[in-house]
Amino acid sequence: MRFIAEQLIPWQKTSGRHDLPWQHRSDPYAVWLSEIMLQQTQVNAVIPYYQRFIKRFPDIGSLARASVEDVLTYWSGLGYYSRARNLLRAASAVVREHRGVFPQSRDALQRLPGIGRSTAAAIVVFAHGKRDAILDGNVKRVFARFFGIDRYPGEPATLARLWQLAEKSLPLDGNPDDTRTYTQALMDLGSLICVRSKPLCCQCPLRAHCIAYTQNRVAQLPVPRPKKNLPEKETVFMIYRNGCKLLLEKRPENGIWGGLWCFPESDFHHDQLALENSSHPIMLPQFWHAFTHFKLLIRPRLQDVHANKVVSASLVWKKPAEVLALAIPVPVKKLIHQHFIS
């Protein structure tokens, strides 16, 4: 097991990443924010969101005082919006229960909303130099290939085995700098070298002892999730246009796109618009939007209307450019760019 740390620590110093924006801060808030954003999102996509978010909410106190809508606005486009809502819940809990100071133990961190074992471990490693193991998606792939794990990593028994290997592979001396460097090296190796498809094995410092590489099984590992057909659903987006403005409806907190501004769906009650008259709707091209557990077919319909007011606090009229400044889901942003902003 010692081989992994012995190879990765010097490799990270010469070949790893050292200029990521969150690497310039070692406080728990910056580490926590970056780790949450990096869940299920690639580094290059996260960087601009992180920079905007931390400029708007530079510390735990400013985030805890924010509204859900403000947080969702700065998160809009990153997807998996429950992460943003959990950020706000966790920030409020840190201020309320810990006087604004992040807990320093992994167990206490895991009791905060949205923080799992690997994220909590990353926080205590990078912010406090503690010796702890991480196991995010990239690290699972590295270990599955290196140790030749021939079962799907999401199975409970396989996941438990990977955690054992992650703990046994930690640097032995517990030096804080070595632990930080090793942990960053694992992240870098999985993100830059041991990638999902077409990994750069010739550049990997672990290839001499990697079972997947030596047995020519890199393409087969890690074992993919058992295939199952995603259920398909569909909805109709009613895009009401009143002159140069579009109607947006704030979605309920629960369910998909919770708390975001979206075009009303087909079950929308027209009497909320106080319509004077309207044209026949125009069918815009339909498209698919994929979620983790299902696919959604979106059928947009554009309808020009004349309305003096709306009679619901959850409805607003906005110009297309103003819509983009709201907390909106990706399909709404896509429709705005395709049909209303040249």
The rounded distance, in Å, linking the Cα atoms of 332 and 269 is: 20
Q: Is 282 helix (H, G, I), strand (E, B) or coil?
A: strand
Helix axes 137-146, 156-168, angle to 10 degrees: 80
69 catalytic residue (yes or no): no
DSSP bridge pairs for 235: 298
Among the listed residues 6, 35, 249, 265, the single catalytic one is 35
End-to-end CA distance of the chain: 56
Domain-by-domain residue ranges, the chain? 2-220, 232-339
pLDDT range class, residue 25, cuts 50, 70, 90? confident
Q: Which is it for strands 232-242 and 245-250: parallel, antiparallel or unpaired?
A: antiparallel
Cα four-point dihedral sign 266, 249, 76, 114: negative
The rounded distance, in Å, linking the Cα atoms of 143 and 52 is: 33
Q: Could you give the percent of the chain with pLDDT greater than 70? A: 95
Q: Could you give the percent of the chain with pLDDT greater than 90? A: 78
Q: Strand (E) positions, 187-342?
A: 232-242, 245-250, 261-262, 275-278, 282-283, 287-290, 295-307, 315-318
Nearest to 234 by CA among 270, 303, 301, 288: 288
Give 144: exposed, middle or buried? Use CB within 10 Å, 0-12, 13-18, 19+.
Answer: buried
At the second CATH level, the architecture of 232-339 is Alpha-Beta Complex (3.90)
pLDDT range class, residue 306, cuts 50, 70, 90? confident
Q: What is the pLDDT of residues 31-68, one digit of tens each?
A: 999 999 999 888 999 999 999 999 999 999 999 999 99
Nearest to 133 by CA among 195, 68, 179: 179
pLDDT range class, residue 275, cuts 50, 70, 90? low
Tokens of 198: 């077409």
Q: Where are the alpha helices (DSSP H) in 77-217?
A: 82-98, 106-110, 117-128, 137-146, 156-168, 176-188, 211-214
Q: Which is it for strands 295-307 and 232-242: parallel, antiparallel or unpaired?
A: parallel
Say if CB 40 and CB 80 are below 8 A apart.
yes
Q: Is 15 helix (H, G, I), strand (E, B) or coil?
A: helix
Q: What is the pLDDT of residues 173-231, one digit of tens each?
A: 778 899 999 999 999 999 999 999 999 999 999 999 999 999 999 999 999 988 888 89
Where does 2-220 sit in CATH, by number?
1.10.340.30
Global pTM?
Answer: 0.82
Q: What is the pLDDT of residues 119-155, one digit of tens each?
A: 999 999 999 999 999 999 999 999 999 999 999 999 9
The rounded distance, in Å, linking the Cα atoms of 135 and 121 is: 9
**DSSP structure class, residue 66:** S
Say if CB 195 and CB 30 are below 8 A apart.
no
